[in-house]
Amino acid sequence: MAVVVVVATELTLVNGSGLDEWRLTPKQISRYMLWTYISEILYNTIIMTTKIAVVLLYLPLTYSYGAVSVSYDVLIFFLPIHSLLKLNITWQRKVGVCAVFLVGFVVTIIAIVRLQYLIRYLAFPNIGPSSRHD
């Protein structure tokens, strides 16, 4: 496909790309416009195909990234609890610090629920309109 784009681009150069349009014949302008149009369509097709390929390449990593992220969040939540209980501060401040960590724990629970929905959603082979569950 890239070879075809290079050929189409070369044909736009041969037919007047980069030249003053007042020096071109109507036939050269028509050919230039035709090959420019063809090369733009081909170029956009290549770009879209490349983007789709990259997305499909990284799609399986979504599961593993989500699992690693949740594991890391749980680890970060439980690490400071022992130290927190040993702190020499009033119980009101301990409750405040625990509330901050509780917000992190709630976010971790939401990430786990999101991962479950993501796994269910990506399990469908057809992601078109027929896969909706209305």
The domain ranges of the chain are: 2-126
Split the chain (134 residues) into runs of 10 and give each run's mean pLDDT.
80 82 86 86 86 76 73 78 82 85 84 80 63 52
pTM of the model: 0.43
Give me the pLDDT at residue 124, please: 67
Give me the pLDDT at residue 100, please: 84
Q: Which burial class, exposed, middle or buried, applies to 90 when counting CB atoms under 10 A from its CB (0-12, 13-18, 19+)?
A: exposed
